[in-house]
Amino acid sequence: MTETIGFIGLGIMGRPMALNLVRAGYPLTVYARRQVSMVPLLEAGATGCSSPAEVARRSSIVFVMVSDTPDVEQVVLGDEGVIEGVRPGAIVVDMSTISPSATRAMAERLREVGAEMLDAPVSGGDVGAAAGTLSIMVGGSEDAFLRVRPLFEVMGQNIVHVGDNGAGQVCKACNQVLVAQTIAAVGEAMLLARASGVDPAKVREALLGGFAGSRVLDVHGRRMLESDYVPGFKAALHQKDMRIVLEAASELGIGLPGAAQVTQLINALVGQGEGDLDSAALHRVQQRTHGKA
Amino acid sequence: MTETIGFIGLGIMGRPMALNLVRAGYPLTVYARRQVSMVPLLEAGATGCSSPAEVARRSSIVFVMVSDTPDVEQVVLGDEGVIEGVRPGAIVVDMSTISPSATRAMAERLREVGAEMLDAPVSGGDVGAAAGTLSIMVGGSEDAFLRVRPLFEVMGQNIVHVGDNGAGQVCKACNQVLVAQTIAAVGEAMLLARASGVDPAKVREALLGGFAGSRVLDVHGRRMLESDYVPGFKAALHQKDMRIVLEAASELGIGLPGAAQVTQLINALVGQGEGDLDSAALHRVQQRTHGKA
């Protein structure tokens, strides 16, 4: 079966992902709310559309890469949304990071009109998007996953089918819970080393080889040592993702006190005007709040 | 220079470490508070002594591997302690995990009688002690470190000279801060996945390949999936180490809210009679306290 592919949302993440699909030889129809965002794709050979519905009418697989839950709901269910044009048998693949429960509700709405949905949030940032090395966590049916996998392989490297609709978003939420808290824990270790008069670079080096070793200690530990907070992954986006995590915890009736605590650091960082820094900059809040003068 | 070596403290960690020294061909004099603990070493060819002071009289390098700050102070500074027999130019190497500030004070006392001290706490547990694969974090002078390094290499693999007296203990404290919080974060991710009806084994697998990847997610994540809490590293010992961390934070005047929070989980686990389980069992407290029924 030859797929016809659409891509909606051409921002800092969507643009390089869509470009990778075009460059891999897939004909693409695209839509972005801001027309100017479409220009690089049109120059690369994609066809522009005037609405999500029009993209859907022309596509058997429709990718969506926007910011937050309401944005995806607008694109999929809103006026001139995907649902108004989607073909029976088509697959809508939402690669944004949004609410797992909202994802399940949208999948149900799409099922009613004969379409399938995959949730496929990513990690790896705009660097991973450009390089085609994203991690992709997928929820939805096995059949839909297998149909879309060749396209995922153009955009990413570590591609895991986690479970049914919503499971990709749950997995991404778990990722953010783990990354945020590991950043904060590395930051506390740095705080303790510095206040004790011990070189935190030596501590990072010693710990990397042992049981405390992690990619966060490696990458974000170096950021903290060098005060280099060029993103990477912006704190404002991590804040949004932690909001999704804590809303899910509330819906589910579970307590995530560690996630709640680290979210306060990210909230403060964003509130202090530094939301455009990499989220490892939460170490700055730790230094200002809990470190030595 | 031919070193004569003593070893004080022959418990679950000290015994296999001392045995590795004997097996590597070093003549060893040993002391343990409980005489029966000396038997395996005497059988292996070590010479038993009746006090820490006597070990010190016979040794140019004296290892100490006991439980907690007061134990080390008793062995080094107490009645018939190391300080009563220590030779000028000898090195006392404390491999226990204890207070950094108490370590600095003891190093000063030993300096007054012409001896040096190294703090050299380890990570890797009794498995690493038996296999000679411990991580060893060393504080003290470069000269003393270089003299003892061949012996460290018999006991461990990842051996880092972190800084001056106390720096090894600070590094170990940082290690425990990081490991405890990463365990708790992995536990929260598992809680979120399970409550969402998503297979936590799939989530672990997906996250291991990406930015959330860590040794704790690998090893302790599997423990949590299998409810396999055979230590490993006992929660009661992790509780002791977190007490050292939080006392250091108090002395230094810094805030470590993440470390404080995870300590509460470990406190509860020990209080619920499960202090002999691996510290990853703090996930049980998370499940009982914050998970779904």
Omega cis (within 30) before A232: yes
Cβ atoms within 10 A of the Cβ of B201, count?
A: 14
What is the bridge-based pairing of β-strands B134-139 and B122-123? antiparallel
Q: What percent of chain A has pLDDT over 90?
A: 95
Beta strand A61-64 pairing with A91-94: parallel
Q: What pLDDT shows up at residue A125? A: 86
- Report how far apart, in Å, the C-alpha atoms of A269 and of each of A85, A237, A284 are: 42, 12, 8
**pLDDT tens-digit profile of A78-98?**
999 999 999 999 999 999 999
Cα atoms in the Cβ-side hemisphere of radius 13 Å centred on A44: 22
The secondary structure element, H or E, covering residue A40 is helix A39-43
Interface ipTM: 0.96
Mean pLDDT of B10-33: 97
What number is the average pLDDT over the span B35-62?
97
- pLDDT above 70 for B293: no
Q: How many Cα atoms sit within 13 Å of B46 on the Cβ side?
A: 33
**B57 phi, psi to nearest 5 deg:** -60, -30
B158 CB near a chain A CB, below 8 Å? yes
Question: Please, are residues B29 and B58 in contact by the beta-carbon 8 Å criterion?
Answer: yes
Residue A180, pLDDT score: 98
Mean pLDDT of B11-16: 96
Do A173 and B192 count as a contact with CB atoms less than 8 A apart? yes
pLDDT digits (tens, 9 = 90+) for B87-146: 999 999 999 999 999 999 999 999 999 999 999 999 988 889 999 999 999 999 999 999
- What chain B holds in terms of domains, given with CATH numbers, is 5-164 (3.40.50.720), 170-289 (1.10.1040.10)
Flag if A189 and B166 touch (Cβ within 8 Å).
no
pLDDT for the residue A293: 62
How many residues does this entry show for chain B? 293
Instruction: Please name the residues in contact with B221: beta carbons below 8 A apart, sequence gap of 6 or more.
Output: B186, B190, B204, B208
- Considering only CB atoms, B191 lies closest to which of A160, A179, A256, namely A256
Nearest residue to B132 via CA among B31, B24, B279:
B24
Contacts of B174 in chain A (CB under 8 A): 189-190, 192-193, 203, 207, 212
Omega of the bond leading into B232 within 30 degrees of 0 (cis): yes
pLDDT at A2: 86
- Contact between B181 and A181 using a beta-carbon 8 Å cutoff: yes
Q: Which chain B residue has the Cα nearest residue A263?
A: B258
* Residues in B 185-214 with any Cβ partner in A closer than 8 A: 185-186, 188-193, 195-199, 202-203, 205-207, 209-214
- Is A162's CB within 8 Å of B257's CB? no
pLDDT band of residue B245 (cuts 50, 70, 90) is very high
Q: Which among B248, B281, B267, B240 is positioned nearest to B96, based on CA atoms?
A: B240
In chain B, what residues touch A216 (CB-CB under 8 Å)? 211-212, 214
Length of chain A: 293
Q: In this prediction, what percent of chain B has a pLDDT beyond 70? A: 99
Close Cβ partners of A117 (under 8 Å, ≥ 6 residues apart): A91, A92, A93, A94, A103, A106, A107, A110, A111, A140, A144, A165
Inter-chain CB proximity A249 and B189 less than 8 Å: no
Q: Tell me if chain A has a CB within 8 Å of the CB of B111.
A: no
**pLDDT at residue A93 in the model:** 98
- Whole-number Å distance between alpha carbons of B91 and B73: 16
pLDDT at B1: 60
Does the distance separating the beta carbons of B291 and A254 come in below 8 Å? yes
CA distance B185 to A173: 12
In tens digits, what is the pLDDT along chain A, a chain of 293 residues? 689 999 999 999 999 999 999 999 999 999 999 999 999 999 999 999 999 999 999 999 999 999 999 999 999 999 999 999 999 999 999 999 999 999 999 999 999 999 999 999 999 888 899 999 999 999 999 999 999 999 999 999 999 999 999 999 999 999 999 999 999 999 999 999 999 999 999 999 999 988 999 999 999 999 999 999 999 899 999 999 999 999 999 999 999 999 999 999 999 999 999 999 999 999 999 999 988 76
Of A174, A212, A252, the CB nearest to B179: A212
CB A175, CB A162: distance < 8 Å: no
- A254 to B186: CB separation less than 8 angstroms, yes or no: no
Residues of B within 8 A of A256 (CB-CB) are 188, 191-192, 290
pLDDT digits (tens, 9 = 90+) for B151-178: 999 999 999 999 999 999 999 999 999 9
B267 touches chain A (CB under 8 A): no
Which residues of B carry out catalysis?
172
Q: How far is B57 from chain A (nearest CA, A)?
A: 33
pLDDT by residue (tens digit) across B183-233? 999 999 999 999 999 999 999 999 998 899 999 999 999 999 999 999 989
Q: Which residues pair with B135 in a beta bridge?
A: B123, B158
* Helix, strand, or coil (residue A156): strand
Distance from CA of B209 to the nearest CA of A (A): 7
B166 close contact with A: CB closer than 8 A: yes
